[in-house]
Chains A and B, each alone.
Chain A
Amino acid sequence: MSVTFSNAYQILELKSGATSEEIRRAYLNLVRQHPPDRSPDKFREIHAAYEMLNDPMNLATALMTANRVRPDLSAVIVEAEKVRPRLATLNLLALGNLE
Chain B
Amino acid sequence: MGSAARKADLARRQDQRLAKRDTQHPGFSHSAGLLELRPKIASAESIEDAAIFNKECRLKLSNELQLEATKVIEALELTGNSKFDEAIDRLKEIPRSSPFADWRLFIRGLHSYYSGELGATRQNWTRLDRARRPARIAATLLLAEVDESLGGESQTTSSVMVEHAKTLRFRKKAIAAAIAIAQVRHRDPGTTFSVSQSAMLSNFRDAFSKLDPEFVSTVSLACVQLSLHQGDWGLFERLIKTVPGPPDDPNWNRTKFLYATNFQGFDNVLEKVSKAYINQDLPRLTQLPEELKNALACKILLVLAEEKRSSQDVSTSIFSFRKSKNEYDQINDLFRKAIEKYPRYRPAHEKLIGSLEAQLEENGLSKSNEERLEKELVVAQEKFVQSIPDELETALSLIDFYLEEDQLDKANALVQRLSGQRLEDPLAKALPWKLKLREAMRLSRRKTDLALANKALDDAESLWPTWLNRNWLPFLHAALALRSGDLAKFEELKANAIRDQKISDFVGRLMAFAALQQMNIPIANLKPFRTEIDLQIKNASKASLADLFSIGAFFWDLVRTGLEHKGYRLQASKLGRAFADQIKFHDNSDLDATQVNAFCWGAHHRFWPLGNDYSPKPSFKKLAMKEARIAAAVLEWLIECDSFPDSRMVDYQPLITLTKEAARHEKDPFYRYQFDQIADEAIDIVSEVKARDAQRRSYATTFIDEGEYSEDEDEEFDDVCDCPKCRAKRARMSGILEDEDDANGEWSEGVNDIRDIPPIIRKVTLALGPMGMSELDLLIKSDFLLRSSEEFMDKIGRIFSRHGLSMMHAIEFVMTFQEMAERDMAEIGISTFGDIEQDDVEQDETSARTSGASSSPTLTAEERKSARKQREKELERKKRQASQNRSKR
A56 and B179 form a contact (CB under 8 A)? no
The 7 A-B residue pairs with the shortest CB-CB distance, nearest first, are: A60-B295, A94-B37, A96-B133, A73-B182, A96-B136, A93-B39, A56-B291
Which residues of A sit under 8 angstroms from B77, Cβ to Cβ? 89
List 8 extra interface pairs beyond A59-B295, A77-B219, A98-B136, CB under 8 A.
A73-B181, A73-B222, A82-B115, A83-B214, A84-B115, A88-B80, A89-B73, A97-B42
A73 and B223 form a contact (CB under 8 A)? yes
Contact code string A38-82 (vs B, CB < 8 Å = 1, else 0):
000000000000000000110111011011101101101100111
CB distance from A83 to the nearest CB of B (A): 6
Docked complex Cα distance between A88 and B229 (Å): 35
Size bin of chain B's contact surface: 35 or more
Which residues of B sit under 8 angstroms from A94, Cβ to Cβ? 37-40, 164
Q: Tell me if B820 is interfacial: C-beta within 8 Å of chain A.
A: no
Can you sample 16 A-B contacts with CB below 8 Å?
Answer: A17-B246, A57-B342, A61-B299, A64-B303, A71-B226, A85-B215, A86-B80, A86-B214, A87-B34, A92-B76, A93-B39, A93-B76, A94-B40, A95-B137, A95-B140, A97-B40
Q: Which residue of A lies closest to B34 (CB)?
A: A91
Which residues of A sit under 8 angstroms from B698, Cβ to Cβ? 68
Q: Tell me if B287 is interfacial: C-beta within 8 Å of chain A.
A: yes
Which residues of B sit under 8 angstroms from A63, Cβ to Cβ? 248, 254, 296, 299
CB distance from B781 to the nearest CB of A (A): 29
A83 and B246 form a contact (CB under 8 A)? no
How many A-B pairs have beta carbons closer than 8 Å: the answer is 163
Which residues of A sit under 8 angstroms from B171, Cβ to Cβ? 81, 84-85
Q: Tell me if B228 is interfacial: C-beta within 8 Å of chain A.
A: yes
B303 and A70 form a contact (CB under 8 A)? no
CB distance from A30 to the nearest CB of B (A): 13
Instruction: Choose from A64, A71, A73, A83 the contact partner of B296 (Cβ within 8 Å).
Output: A64
A77 and B248 form a contact (CB under 8 A)? no
Which B positions have Cβ atoms within 8 angstroms of A? 34-35, 37-40, 42-43, 49, 52-53, 73, 76-77, 79-82, 85, 113-116, 133-134, 136-137, 140-141, 158, 160-161, 164, 168, 170-171, 175, 178-179, 181-183, 192, 211-215, 218-219, 222-223, 225-226, 228-229, 246-248, 254, 258-259, 261, 287, 289, 291-292, 294-296, 298-300, 303, 342, 344-345, 695, 698-699, 702
CB within 8 Å for A95 and B164 given contacts A77-B179, A85-B212 = yes
Which A positions have Cβ atoms within 8 angstroms of B? 15, 17, 19-20, 22, 25, 56-57, 59-61, 63-64, 66-68, 70-71, 73-74, 76-77, 80-99
Most interface-central of A19, A56, A83 (chain B CB within 10 A): A56
Q: Which residue of A lies closest to B178 (CB)?
A: A77
CB distance from B92 to the nearest CB of A (A): 14
CB within 8 Å for A87 and B294 given contacts A63-B248, A63-B254 = no
A89 and B76 form a contact (CB under 8 A)? yes
Most interface-central of A20, A71, A85, A90 (chain B CB within 10 A): A85
A83 and B133 form a contact (CB under 8 A)? no
Docked complex Cα distance between A20 and B53 (Å): 33
CB distance from B258 to the nearest CB of A (A): 5
B702 and A70 form a contact (CB under 8 A)? yes
B295 and A98 form a contact (CB under 8 A)? no
Docked complex Cα distance between A15 and B214 (Å): 13
Docked complex Cα distance between A80 and B174 (Å): 11
Docked complex Cα distance between A90 and B35 (Å): 9
Which residues of A sit under 8 angstroms from B53, Cβ to Cβ? 90, 93
Which residues of B sit under 8 angstroms from A89, Cβ to Cβ? 73, 76-77, 80
CB within 8 Å for A95 and B136 given contacts A66-B258, A83-B114, A89-B77 = yes
CB within 8 Å for A85 and B170 given contacts A73-B182, A73-B226 = yes
B219 and A73 form a contact (CB under 8 A)? yes
Docked complex Cα distance between A92 and B40 (Å): 12
CB within 8 Å for A85 and B214 given contacts A68-B695, A74-B182, A98-B136 = yes
Instruction: Choose from B42, B222, B695 the contact partner of A71 (Cβ within 8 Å).
Output: B222
Docked complex Cα distance between A48 and B69 (Å): 41
Which residues of B sit under 8 angstroms from A61, Cβ to Cβ? 295, 299
